[in-house]
Amino acid sequence: MDIVSLFNKLNDKQREAVVAKDSHVLVLAGAGSGKTRVLTHRVIWLKMIKNYSSSSIMAVTFTNKASLEMKSRINALIGDFSKGMWIGTFHGFAYCLLRSHYLDSNLPKNFQIIDRNDQICLLTKSIRYLGLDEKKWQPNSAVCFISDKKNKSSLFPNVDGRSSKSEITWLNIYKVYQNMCDRAGLVDFDELLCRLYNLLLNNPAILAYYRNKFVNILVDEFQDTNKMQYNCLYLLLGEKSNVMIVGDDDQSIYSWRGAQVDNIYRFISDFSSTRIIRLEQNYRSTNNILQTANTLISYNQNRIAKKLWSTEGKGKTVSLYRAVNELDEAYFVINCIKAWQQKGGLLNNCAILYRSNIQSLVLERVLLHSKIPYKIWGGSIRFFERQEIKNMFAYLRLIINKSDDVAYERILNVPPRGIGKRTLDLVRNISITDQLTLWESTKNLLNNTKLKTRIFRVLQDFITLINFLSEEIEQLSLFDQIDLVIKETGLFCFYKQMQGSKSTLCIESFKEILDAAHRFDQNYENRSDNISVLRDFVSYYLLENDKDYRSSELFSDLDSVNLMTLHASKGLEFSQVFIVGMEEGIFPSQMSLLGEKQVEEERRLAYVGITRAMHSLTISYAENRFIYGKAIICKVSRFINELPKECISNVFFSN
């Protein structure tokens, strides 16, 4: 492979970033500027030109999907090269280190990760245990409270004199929840990072080892990192570290889930020698679209200036449509799409973007009336949220860790065994009274309580089944382990007996997970025993399921219009883009009008939407709109008034 010719395909700024010799580099990568190309070529340069070992390279991506794409691109360019280096997410990195240092992290060896649904289940139990009103003290609010505390590195928060009555109650819920997790060996996503931070902070020898190991660190989508991720990265950076962060403060749109755009500015402040390289050449959009985006985002005060440009020419002006109401708006957009289709354009190349999911309803109605196929991104149940897959994983989790109360409750009566609420309440009461796991409570119940013969037999059979599977899987491959569990637990027969398409979908889900297990097993590197492979497989997919997927594989291959929120559109591109509902109170949203910081994030969201368009962009707003059953006179969004007039053309509805 001619490495020189490989780098010659980069533009000047991309090449400058790839070969930068500075210890701290910020690549300010504008939309569509080729940041993934820079990251992959940087890794190749470190290995092939600078002769760093693969094990010295750590690349952190936002999703596992992104890490797989990076590995694939590297291997496609120079062969099977990515082995030995660490490429993955922050949560994946935390999981690996906590597995390796579970004793130093005060965790059991077989600890398991729980997702948000499992958190809700445990928090509901915690709130009920404390005898609180569930309408006032809601589990979803508790998740947010606990997440905030853990993102401030507080695993065991204390009540102090400054705590309000409300905060004291939330802290009590937190403590009960955390005790349940600790007793069962369960770790939520925020706790992964919190424990990683504390592991590195409190163990100098471990920290020194990883500082010396990972000399070259690359972080993608840095604008989406939260406080705890930044703190972990800060600890990992030693005197010999070479770190490249890649991101775009103009595309930071996830503050509602903890992302902090200020992390980019904080990095520059913490490492004053940071070299900033701007990637401003856009390979996606025409210049009229880019100038529209540039002008809009320039109204944000807190940003690092950049100006996107393209060699694609000016292109069409951006169309602006003023609708009478939301129905008029929908018909206008769909008629534009019809005209595009009649000229030979594909529906797949069209996207309608909106601020809130509720806006899709009228659009769907008109699409259905017009007999135009469409798909809603993010509207389908994600694969790992399907009931049959959640049940199968619950069995695997309980087999690995008998203390997993969430898994126990989920599958105790799946398939149905005739175990009713009264029996489960009996087990729960013993668990609460004696501070035992549900598994231990069941064994105590069988040994010390006179039960009806049928209930005794059913509970005993359940315990025997799990113990049998625990022993049998030790000698099996990952594929055979999961195949055995699906069949021996009765899940396969249970779902096969269902009526119609539901049965087919469930059976196909099992086949898909078996294929995934086979692929995972083939690529698994750190094999010590068969149980560790199974444990890591379960954790890998629980981590993967936490991401905000936009999985096109869930949809049919039918040529269809794409409907999605502006948040869901990030990272995508379409030839024709329609942004609807550009009105004050809708976009920017009503909640964001409370402060300039929130308005700036809404403006960044508009910027993201605009830069999804390759050749044609249409923005619309309505004079009147029904919102929650009330007719509202709308005010045009401030963002429309901030668009460059020379790039905009007003258009009018025509049938």
Give catalytic residues, as residue numbers.
35-36, 220-221, 251, 612
Question: Locate tokens 């403006």: which residue?
Answer: 603
How deeply is 34 buried, as exposed, middle or buried, from its count of CB atoms within 10 A (0-12, 13-18, 19+)?
buried
C-alpha to C-alpha distance for 75 and 478, rounded to whole angstroms: 26
Question: Locate tokens 């991401």: which residue?
Answer: 547
- Count of CB atoms within 10 A of residue 495's CB? 22
Peptide bond into 157 cis (omega under 30): no
Q: Decide if 639 contacts 309 (C-beta within 8 A).
A: no
How deeply is 538 buried, as exposed, middle or buried, from its count of CB atoms within 10 A (0-12, 13-18, 19+)?
buried
Residue 27 has which token pair?
């690549």
Question: Locate tokens 């959640």: which residue?
Answer: 390
C-alpha to C-alpha distance for 318 and 320, rounded to whole angstroms: 7
Q: Which residues pair with 187 in a beta bridge?
A: 113
C-alpha to C-alpha distance for 250 and 304, rounded to whole angstroms: 8
With a CB cutoff of 8 Å and minimum separation 6, the contacts of 85 are 43, 54, 55, 56, 57, 58, 59
Q: Decide if 244 contacts 23 (C-beta within 8 A).
A: no
User: Which three-class secondary structure state does DSSP give residue 377?
Assistant: coil
C-alpha to C-alpha distance for 112 and 110, rounded to whole angstroms: 6
Residue 175 has which token pair?
């403590």
Question: Helices 227-236 and 90-100 meet at what angle, rounded to 10?
Answer: 60
What region does 262 belong to: left with phi over 0, alpha with psi -120 to 50, or beta?
alpha
C-alpha to C-alpha distance for 509 and 391, rounded to whole angstroms: 12
Q: Decide if 66 contacts 220 (C-beta within 8 A).
A: yes
Residue 278 is inside which H or E element, if any?
Answer: strand 275-279
With a CB cutoff of 8 Å and minimum separation 6, the contacts of 34 are 11, 14, 279, 281, 283
How deeply is 537 buried, as exposed, middle or buried, from its count of CB atoms within 10 A (0-12, 13-18, 19+)?
buried
C-alpha to C-alpha distance for 382 and 292, rounded to whole angstroms: 35
C-alpha to C-alpha distance for 112 and 116, rounded to whole angstroms: 13
How long is the chain? Answer: 655
